Structure 1
């Protein structure tokens, strides 16, 4: 049994949906049991948000979840219709019908549990099951959505619960690259990565796969495959088996714009304030980074753009002068944490040679991350991609062939 996920660009048109139905029909005829997770078509979620904005910009999150969850349901219905036209029996399910229970954090809920009986029953009857990604139901019976990358998360969580052979993530690129191929022309597709390597790349800016999906698959060793919806050739396998004899020390160079740096100064009791703010950010479920500062009376934290409103409320009560600046991170992902000191020295040298002002992130284990002005992010990523020899790699294999 295989779980497949098709993203918004893969299902953006009726012709695309018909193409997916033909492919699924062939696989079903070959004996596969299939659970298909789908996103909303193309820009549907953005269009629904615009409709909401025409009413009010003070959105109630429960209302938004009710609205946004309809996008995936449209895709589910259309794909089921297309499958029936191909002679394939199909059952479409919303998140709650698929047994997905979540927390009550509307707009960014986490999956608590999955009751798989409905899906398992449909599979036993020989049906292809099509599930709406990005959504579930709270303990109060309210529709919830999982936030950005929610369909990836749905697919990985279902694959884990159902004991799938693998979870295939279909998107508009052929796989995971050593850097973003839209900006770094010499970026090369990676044939395989370990969960830890992919998790670092995803958290640091590789938008092809959401970190939560990896976190669901990793403890249960369910392989993930990222590949193009236009072809089954190639793709990137993500699993728990590191390759043998891999010589290249770096997996990739990724960057992430839209990060915001909060700098506090002057600070009298630096460590106490640091612990207090860190605990509040963690309590509110925000991922953040702490920057290494030269001065003893300065503190700096980095948060995502999506968390600005909540972060502002925390830093406003910090009892110090706070400066907020828009930044970007550029990260070199290492194969072995033992090589990080050497990589860090080389990164610092390149930054200094090119006179790029930077900060360094604390507590990096298998990567080296620097904070720079947004305008420098792509140029720096390109410099580092070349400096670590990734431009010359022809067929990159980070973790061995699965």
Structure 2
């Protein structure tokens, strides 16, 4: 009985017809090993950005339904071209949109979550010897509307399909050759991590590591599907994600992550601040919005750290519930970033927070706020200083390439 392998190719991997042909070769290599192959693809290159620009020429307040209708077309182009590239080389292949692949989502358009996958049609085509090429980033609601899964949606599609199909593994091809201790484009001395547990990868991803979406890790972890992050353009070992986190003998800090475009929303004079914090977090979660929410000591206020592209939606939610939540005003501060050190049981290790503050102070990084959780300590800094902060913290916690190499000798 053949095993199933899911391959996912990101936008840069399929950014031109020449690259699509190269990715077709990758698919054929896997097929020739005797696997049944399901391929998930993103839109070509900057297609999504181009579509968003077209919208901005029409309206500043597009409906979410029509945005999903438009943005889902990018992947449809790619699946057709890749399928034709496979057919040109004599490989039987068929392309499916999200709804044709049986991907059902909830109704939070623009940031939908997958609820179920009917794999019947995919399995039928695999039994017939076809390579199945699926559009990432999209599905269909119970009401029949096309929905998109938000940023990183193709990763989510690939991991969810791998789980539903009980795949042997899920290979994520991207423009980097694995998961690093920080983003190597900003931190030159970042080192590649050969293997990570689901828990550690989810921690890194949830705090800003852009190489993989945290919901993709969640799908893979649920059914124990190994995820393999590798380069589309270079040979060599990538990063394997599987298994459980080691509880002993593991460095307390495994990486430094950051998010560049952050807004801070401070809500003042909150009544029943504990209940208010819980209510805010539940309301944002119902809209699939991730926010860090911190109580401000010595005053009845909360600070919310939200992605810049989501701040207006968060403000709308807060204003709509002002009478229920009884606060006086909201102040917004833009031009910020957040940088985090990630590990396990960090909140029980106060020395990590102290060391972080010391490193930032010594390097004249202006810190606006410091918060902590079980997996991270996060500092809010000015956007102009985020690269400096990430580099210095990476060095300060012994994660530079040279330090890692010495530790492994």
TM range (shorter): over 0.9
Which ranges in structure 2 are unaligned for 5 or more consecutive residues? none
Aligned partner (choices 348, 351, 367) of residue 342 of structure 1: 351
Confirm or deny: 8 A CA contact 1:292 1:359 kept in the other structure.
Answer: no
Deviation at 1:337, TM superposition (A): 4.0
Confirm or deny: 8 A CA contact 2:346 2:377 kept in the other structure.
Answer: no
Confirm or deny: 8 A CA contact 1:291 1:359 kept in the other structure.
Answer: no
Confirm or deny: 8 A CA contact 1:191 1:397 kept in the other structure.
Answer: no
Aligned partner (choices 352, 357, 371) of residue 361 of structure 1: 371
- TM-score with structure 2 length normalisation? 0.91
The answer to whether structure 1 residue 388 and structure 2 residue 397 are counterparts is: yes
Distance 1:118 1:335 in 2: 41
Distance 1:152 1:396 in 2: 34
Query: Do the aligned partners of residues 396 and 155 (structure 1) sit closer, same or farther apart at CA in structure 2, a change above 3 Å counting?
Result: farther
Confirm or deny: 8 A CA contact 1:94 1:132 kept in the other structure.
Answer: yes
Aligned partner (choices 314, 332, 338) of residue 329 of structure 1: 338
For the aligned residue pairs, the C-alpha RMSD in angstroms reads: 2.1
Confirm or deny: 8 A CA contact 2:199 2:244 kept in the other structure.
Answer: no
Mapping of 1:142-161 within 5 angstroms? Answer: 142-161=145-164
Distance 1:139 1:193 in 2: 36
Aligned partner (choices 363, 374, 381) of residue 372 of structure 1: 381
Confirm or deny: 8 A CA contact 2:340 2:376 kept in the other structure.
Answer: yes
Confirm or deny: 8 A CA contact 1:337 1:365 kept in the other structure.
Answer: yes
Which ranges in structure 1 are unaligned for 5 or more consecutive residues? none
Confirm or deny: 8 A CA contact 2:44 2:74 kept in the other structure.
Answer: yes
Distance 2:270 2:57 in 1: 44
Deviation at 1:268, TM superposition (A): 5.5
Query: Do the aligned partners of residues 334 and 272 (structure 1) sit closer, same or farther apart at CA in structure 2, a change above 3 Å counting?
Result: closer
**What SS does the corresponding residue of 1:213 show, helix, strand or coil?**
helix
The answer to whether structure 1 residue 66 and structure 2 residue 40 are counterparts is: no
Distance 2:91 2:249 in 1: 44
Deviation at 1:244, TM superposition (A): 8.9
Distance 2:407 2:282 in 1: 39
Aligned partner (choices 37, 40, 53) of residue 37 of structure 1: 40
Confirm or deny: 8 A CA contact 1:194 1:240 kept in the other structure.
Answer: yes
Aligned partner (choices 126, 133, 137) of residue 134 of structure 1: 137
Aligned to 2:101: 98
Q: Which deviates further from its counterpart, 349-358 or 68-77?
A: 349-358
Aligned to 1:306: 309
Query: Do the aligned partners of residues 69 and 278 (structure 1) sit closer, same or farther apart at CA in structure 2, a change above 3 Å counting?
Result: closer
The answer to whether structure 1 residue 262 and structure 2 residue 265 are counterparts is: yes
Deviation at 1:267, TM superposition (A): 4.2
1:272-307 deviation per Cα after TM superposition (whole angstroms, max 9, x unaligned): 443443343333332111224232233222122232
**What SS does the corresponding residue of 1:358 show, helix, strand or coil?**
strand
Query: Do the aligned partners of residues 299 and 335 (structure 1) sit closer, same or farther apart at CA in structure 2, a change above 3 Å counting?
Result: closer
Mapping of 1:137-286 within 5 angstroms? Answer: 137-242=140-245, 246-267=249-270, 269-286=272-289
Confirm or deny: 8 A CA contact 2:8 2:154 kept in the other structure.
Answer: yes
1:76-113 deviation per Cα after TM superposition (whole angstroms, max 9, x unaligned): 11111110111111111111111101112221111110
The answer to whether structure 1 residue 291 and structure 2 residue 300 are counterparts is: no
Deviation at 1:357, TM superposition (A): 2.5
Distance 2:371 2:255 in 1: 18
Confirm or deny: 8 A CA contact 2:139 2:146 kept in the other structure.
Answer: yes
Query: Do the aligned partners of residues 7 and 394 (structure 1) sit closer, same or farther apart at CA in structure 2, a change above 3 Å counting?
Result: same
Distance 2:328 2:191 in 1: 46
Confirm or deny: 8 A CA contact 2:268 2:327 kept in the other structure.
Answer: no
**What SS does the corresponding residue of 2:193 show, helix, strand or coil?**
coil
The answer to whether structure 1 residue 2 and structure 2 residue 5 are counterparts is: yes
Confirm or deny: 8 A CA contact 1:249 1:339 kept in the other structure.
Answer: no
Distance 1:90 1:393 in 2: 47
Query: Do the aligned partners of residues 314 and 71 (structure 1) sit closer, same or farther apart at CA in structure 2, a change above 3 Å counting?
Result: closer
Query: Do the aligned partners of residues 105 and 300 (structure 1) sit closer, same or farther apart at CA in structure 2, a change above 3 Å counting?
Result: same
Q: Which deviates further from its counterpart, 366-375 or 384-393?
A: 366-375
Confirm or deny: 8 A CA contact 1:255 1:381 kept in the other structure.
Answer: yes
1:211-230 deviation per Cα after TM superposition (whole angstroms, max 9, x unaligned): 11111111111111111011
Confirm or deny: 8 A CA contact 1:191 1:236 kept in the other structure.
Answer: yes
1:309-350 deviation per Cα after TM superposition (whole angstroms, max 9, x unaligned): 221123332531321112211111114547632211211222
Deviation at 1:395, TM superposition (A): 5.1
Query: Do the aligned partners of residues 67 and 396 (structure 1) sit closer, same or farther apart at CA in structure 2, a change above 3 Å counting?
Result: farther
Distance 1:397 1:131 in 2: 43
